[in-house]
Structure 1
Amino acid sequence: MLDTHRIRVFRSVMASGSIQAAADNLGYTPSAISQQISALQKETGLTLFEREGRGLSPTAAARSLVAHTNDLMGELSKLDSVVTDLREGRSGRLTIGYFTSAGAEWMPTLARRLSAEMPDLTLELVLNEIPRRGGAPFDLNILVEVAGAQDPHGSRRIPLAVDPYVALLPGDHPLADSSAVTLADLEGDTWISNDLPQAICSKILAASCEAAGFRPRFAVQAQDHYTAIAFVRAGVGITVIPGLAAHLPTSDPQVRVVPIAPPQPIRHIAAVVRDPAGNKAANRAVELLLELIG
């Protein structure tokens, strides 16, 4: 079995770019770092670094090894956290997956209230829009519902919210003061994307535009909510965005939030509890979310 301390030192050398830099970062002498790297090479039977001028250059084997240790180091870090929890008397851990707009609007308050009620609970909040390699599934996953998606066996799904999309228009847009607009009203505008094209929220918008008889031309590929809103504020174009992501200062005259008349894109938000019978913390988190959402 590989020595995990040597793996940590090796990864530091790879990340730092040299023995000396790794020694500075880890608080060791360059000699100690070199000894650990030599021992790791003997342990693995691999040549990890080659002389290049006055320094060292990582080999292809080194680059492959460091890539394959990413999951290992993540799991070791998680194990360190578990040991810390046990040593300090914390009784449990709750991992919650969330997407960006839910994170901004709900997660801070949820974390504060849940921690106040369960001070011995260790919370881990993880953005679920990025593929998660390794590790156990989320104890509680806050997600946008996708038709036909399969939940983990034995889990429970709880509807949380219906989130209609809204149009964000520059303050001087001809329809900025409208009580509502249709998607067709905006067909000729310059559109700004606010999510990745293959993301579920983009697909919901695309389906509604198809139902309205057109396909929007995105002149700006912002692909995140905050950047898209900034483009609208600058008067570049319009964006159609889930309502949960469209909260703006009420004093902002440069962006108007206008409701959309049917066919209106709507996303449905749910919570999936992995172990509903044995996860008191996850069930309480759902109760708090429902209270928070109202």
Structure 2
Amino acid sequence: MLDVHRLRVFRSVVASGSVQAAATNLGYTPSAVSQHVTALQRETGLTLLTRVGRGLQPTAAGNALAAEADRVLARVGAAEALVADLRSGRTGSLSLAYFASVGAAWMPHVVSRITSELPGVRLGLSLREYIPDTPEQRPDIQVAVLRSEALGGGGFTAHHLLDDPYVAVLPAGHRLAGKEEVDLVELAEERWVDNDVARGWCRRNLLEACKAAGFSPTFHVEAHDYPTALAFVEAGIGLTVLPTLGTAQLPDGVTWVRVARPTPMRSIYAVVQNAAAQIPAARVALTALREAADQI
């Protein structure tokens, strides 16, 4: 088993460029740093550093180990922070990621619940549209749009929160604005405002539904996000079709109508690290997310 302390010393040598600089940064003697690096090379059976002039340069193996050491030390740091929190009487920390339309609609309620029930918790929030491929980069909880084939496994559990149907957002004076619902095909000849130029799953889901209705929409304007697309609709530029959750803060002068035959749908989940599932803040967050989803 690799010694974590030796990894720290080795990483410092790689970052500092020499044993002397690493010793200065760490507050060690150069001899102690050299001993740690030598022991790590003996432990791994690899040549990790090579001398270049008066400094040291990592070998290919050294670079690979240094990159992995960053991930290992980050996780060790998180564990040490948790121990410090628990030792000082704080309730720990929670990292929580969410996508844009959830931010305005749900996160105020979720954060309010966590901070009122667990005022000592350290809460780290981040905006993410995609789940990172590397498990080490994932937060304790991530609110994400998932397809059924992408659920579960890898030390994480996906909790279903909401099936979010798409609606057509129209200027208030549009010919279809007074209807309770419209067939998707009725929008085929309209001027469309795109709301997801990142070409994510939500947009692909919409385009598949349009194909099922026998047409491909013509986007006259491309917006990068829902609020901008809604502002274009308010200006009378066209209509946009987006999930219901994206209509939480509609501007004046626009309205939405349900879309049918077919109704595009996205499924929203809370993806929870199994290791974090019993953290008090994680339990409160999951409860609050379910409450927010139930209000839709």
Superposition TM-score, scaled by structure 2 size:
0.68
Percent of aligned pairs with the same amino acid: 37
Q: Residue 201 of structure 1: CA displacement?
A: 0.5
2:238 matched to which residue of 1? 237
Q: Aligned equivalents of 2:116 and 2:277: distance in 1?
A: 23
Q: Which runs of 5+ in 2 are unaligned?
A: 1-9, 18-53, 58-66
1:58 matched to which residue of 2? none
Taking a change above 3 Å as real, the CA distance of residues 44 and 172 of structure 1, as seen in their structure-2 partners, is: farther
Q: Residue 291 of structure 1: CA displacement?
A: 2.0
Q: Aligned equivalents of 1:175 and 1:248: distance in 2?
A: 21
Q: Aligned equivalents of 1:44 and 1:145: distance in 2?
A: 46
Taking a change above 3 Å as real, the CA distance of residues 278 and 182 of structure 1, as seen in their structure-2 partners, is: same
Cα pair 2:180 2:257 within 8 Å, conserved: yes
Aligned residues: 237
Q: Residue 270 of structure 1: CA displacement?
A: 1.1
Instruction: Provide, for residues 38-61 of structure 1, a one-character-per-residue CA deviation record: whole Å limited to 9, x for no partner.
Output: xxxx7678xxxxxxxxxxxxxxxx
Instruction: Provide, for residues 114-134 of structure 1, a one-character-per-residue CA deviation record: whole Å limited to 9, x for no partner.
Output: 111112211111112167597
Structure 2 letter corresponding to 1:178: K
Cα pair 2:230 2:250 within 8 Å, conserved: no
Instruction: Provide, for residues 16-72 of structure 1, a one-character-per-residue CA deviation record: whole Å limited to 9, x for no partner.
Output: xxxxxxxxxxxxxxxxxxxxxxxxxx7678xxxxxxxxxxxxxxxxxxxxxx9xx89
Alignment of 1:99 onto 2:99: yes
Cα pair 1:273 1:283 within 8 Å, conserved: no
Taking a change above 3 Å as real, the CA distance of residues 293 and 277 of structure 1, as seen in their structure-2 partners, is: closer
Q: Aligned equivalents of 1:169 and 1:44: distance in 2?
A: 64
2:122 matched to which residue of 1? 122
Q: Aligned equivalents of 2:164 and 2:14: distance in 1?
A: 46
Q: Residue 138 of structure 1: CA displacement?
A: 1.7
- Structure 1 residues 131-150: aligned runs within 5 Å: 135-150=136-151
Cα pair 1:197 1:203 within 8 Å, conserved: no
Calculate the aligned-residue CA RMSD, in Å: 3.4
Cα pair 1:152 1:274 within 8 Å, conserved: no
1:262 matched to which residue of 2? 261
Structure 1 letter corresponding to 2:273: R
Taking a change above 3 Å as real, the CA distance of residues 107 and 161 of structure 1, as seen in their structure-2 partners, is: same
Superposition TM-score, scaled by structure 1 size:
0.68
1:271 matched to which residue of 2? 270
Q: Residue 85 of structure 1: CA displacement?
A: 4.9
Instruction: Provide, for residues 259-279 of structure 1, a one-character-per-residue CA deviation record: whole Å limited to 9, x for no partner.
Output: 112201111111122116533
